Chain A
Amino acid sequence: MVQEPNRRTFLRTLGFSAASITLSPLVESLLPGSISPAENVPIDLAVAEGSSIPKITSAVVDLMGGIKKFVSRGDIVVIKPNMAWDRKPEQAANTNPHVVATLVSLCLDAGAKRVKVFDHSCDDPRRCYVQSGIAHAARKAGAEITFVDDRKFKEMNIGGEVLKSWKIYTEVVEADALINVPIAKHHSLAKLSMATKNWMGAVGGWRGRLHWRLNQCLADLASFFKPSLTLLDAVRILVNHGPQGGRLEDVKGTDMVIAGVDQIAVDSFGATLFGMKGSDLGYVKEGHTRGLGRMDIENLKVKRVHVPTP
């Protein structure tokens, strides 16, 4: 399926083109895609480690070129965390609330008009929003917290290999900038639930049925949803009994946030945290084969930073 350029990408391309024509001698070295001193080459993945969650979150975004690269003034931003379960942050079933809140602040600082945070939860949404800590933290940071409204799921053309059409949450599609903020965790069928799997929370209908051909369906969703940026929360990861967990023995502290534009690459990197390779995950392999992203992270430019504890 050919992706229609939306307004944001169109304007950005236009802006870059105009700038590169007029100012090319001056700013050539700063532009993405230009071959210049090594540190200015755009990176594919950014990894920040450290014990301060807000700091590592800001750090990965900075490594990716700063939030302004992804969010423009006046944008309506949708941040899609995983808050599917009635579980607390330390149980590592939902995205870390501080990662989400920091991201909300960054977007607002970049001039976003509105920042919406929501998820189509699995458990009762009211409890998920409260127990995950995300509703409270993100609202404090200035986000609009809403529960999904059943009327806003609309049958849309996915054009995937398995999913021809499915009910999709319109606010996700209508956003000027979409930021996917999953948590890295175990999942019995998908093996791992990360960026691609997080789109299950942006769709409606009988979602369980996607399990029947999960890897293909997830690749189909990855071809449909094109986030501006993906942040993988690996502050704590859930290594067993996912996707809900519940036992602290299954939680591993990895104090890390990973960012990238290529969601397949983000998932592929995430797999390494669990001692796997991207190619071990069916949907990552499928996404790579279809050209939706790259799982060969050894060939990608990954930049790591360690943010020391103050």
Chain B
Amino acid sequence: MESAVVRYRIISQALFLTIFVLLFLLTNYRGFDEIRYPVRIFLEFDPLIAFTTLLAAHHLPTLMLLSLAVVGSALVLGRVFCGWVCPLGTIHHFVSWLYHRKEKDILPRSNLLGYRIKYYLLFFILASSVFTLQGVGFFDPISLLIRSMTLFVEPLVNLMVHSIFGFFYDTEIRWITALTEPIYSLLKNNFLSFRQPYFHQALFIGFLFVAILLMNFYRMRFWCFSLCPLGALLGLVSQVSLLRRWISESCTKCDICFSGCQAFARGNQDKWLRSECLVCGNCQNRCPEGAIDFGLSPSAALTKPGPNLIRRNLLVSAASGIVAVPFLRMNSRYRNPNPKLIRPPGALEEGEFLKRCLKCGECMKVCLTNGLQPTLMEAGLEGIWSPILIPRLGYCQFYCTLCGQVCPSGAIKKLTVSEKVQVRIGLAFIDKNRCLPYSQGIDCIVCEEYCPTPKKAIWFIEKRVRDRGRIVKTVKQPVVDLELCTGCGICENKCPVVDKPAIVVTSIGESRSGVNRLSLY
């Protein structure tokens, strides 16, 4: 029933979404020190990310040159990436289809007004990145999708599966568990996280993700149509593409083609918006006369049927982008380093780091201990959702280098193991008022046991103490060696004083900073 173009398009969408999900699942520790197939490859094919990284950080990671392939596809075929490849686009398309499939006209309540917003957003982002603010991560579709999947979807799915199978397990009825446990271990070994992930702001990030999905009920592919800055960039590029659409003379001007158009790129020849067309093939598929045909023509590149952008709005967007830079950076952290801002090992100096971090959340996904969490205000507005280590939730595993391996922009450097063990991300301090050997004369030194440096960064002083009954005994009181401590946070994580640990890591001493150091060390 569907035409060949539509069938191929659906196969392509399903294929790329599957690849994306598989790579997402493989972006995980699987028994090897190296992650071979990280999902960041999707970000490397993303020209908007390459462009803004180049503008903001004056640096382009080599692999981001792959994005030229997507630019090339847009130069020839228009926004074929949006219609055929983009995993977020496919998800939007699917949700839209679920809701709108019964309707004759899938654009009942829509108009064309909203489609320009994404161009203004793009200009806003580009202008701010010229002035070194890397804000693309909030709106880039690939970054948004990886972040939402990592911080919200994956924890949610895990929790659901665990609670369902946990319910059956707890029944302790043998024939039930004999049935459910094999399925559970199959899921656990292949698809679920090794341990249940928990993230700060999971619900907030999830709310935003669900909200943009729900907008599809209002208008098919709302995100792609109105907001996506990558779509806008590809739309601009495809203005000069070779893609052409012919309407033959058999056209009866019935306008049925209008009703199938996902992007409202318009049906008839004169008003067809090449910059909006997702090359989905629906119009061709629906035309009762078979009057629509797509093809390539060099002459098409000369005509520029693109978005009618209003120059004044473009200027305002760009100007707002420029003004946004000082606004977002109006933050007292420039006066004094934040003690809680413990960045992953290999993170660049804070200013450089923020110019590159895409907030995609991949580092948080691979973190073995779930200690990397998205920031809220710790790094200022500019740094929202960038990674921060919260030792109480998870420490930095001594020989692990995964976060640097998956970082697409080089905000976290890829380190070898021998480099990694030299990097300091903070320093541990003992709270003698709470530490049991100091305050209670009780033996403990769990921190020393766990301290991973080969020559331990926690040592102890043997102290004779007296308890209330005048019995004198010797206890070991821990001391941090600031020359050896890497700030990994395992001591804070394992401290048995659970509510407010007696040993706490703060960011001072971090290798990446010239300022946040204890001088001479």
Contact = CB atoms under 8 A, between A and B. Distances in A.
Interface in B448-471: 448-456, 460
Nearest to A129: B31
A24 B262 CA distance: 91
A213 B441 CA distance: 12
A276 interface: no
Interface in A282-308: none
Interface stretch (A1-9, A173-181, A239-247): A239-247
Given A86-B398, A126-B31, A247 B449 contact: no
Given A124-B369, A127-B29, A211 B446 contact: yes
B399 interface: yes
B166 A151 contact: yes
Interface in B463-521: 476, 494-496, 498
Given A188-B449, A188-B460, A212-B444, A247 B455 contact: yes
Interface string A186-225: 0111000000000000000010110111100000000000
Given A86-B399, A126-B194, A211 B498 contact: no
A130 B446 contact: no
A214 B443 CA distance: 8
Nearest to B194: A126
Nearest to A85: B452
Contact of A212 (B29, B400, B443): B443
B454 A208 contact: no
Nearest to A123: B397
Interface in B423-446: 436, 442-446
Interface string B80-122: 0000000000000000000000000000000000000000000
B445 A151 contact: no
A245 B453 CA distance: 8
Interface string A227-250: 000000000000001011111001
Interface in A105-152: 122-124, 126-127, 130-131, 147, 151
Interface string A149-162: 00100000000000
Nearest to A88: B399
B166 A246 contact: no
Contacts of B496: 206, 208-209, 211-212
B194 A211 contact: no
B453 A246 contact: yes
Contact of B448 (A86, A151, A188, A246): A188
B368 interface: yes
Given A214-B443, A241-B454, A127 B399 contact: yes
B169 interface: yes
Contacts of A211: 443-446, 449, 496
Interface string B398-409: 111000000000
A127 B449 contact: no
A245 B454 contact: yes
B368 A126 contact: yes
Nearest to A209: B496
A147 B189 CA distance: 10
A124 B455 contact: no
B319 to A, nearest CB: 49
Contacts of B399: 86, 127, 131
A245 B455 CA distance: 8
29 contacts: A86-B452, A122-B450, A123-B397, A123-B398, A124-B29, A124-B369, A124-B397, A127-B29, A127-B368, A127-B397, A130-B31, A147-B194, A151-B166, A151-B169, A188-B460, A188-B476, A189-B443, A206-B498, A208-B444, A208-B446, A208-B449, A208-B494, A209-B496, A211-B443, A212-B436, A212-B496, A244-B449, A245-B454, A250-B454
Given A127-B368, A188-B445, 15 more contacts: A123-B398, A123-B452, A124-B400, A147-B194, A188-B448, A188-B476, A189-B449, A189-B476, A206-B498, A211-B496, A212-B496, A213-B443, A244-B451, A246-B452, A246-B455
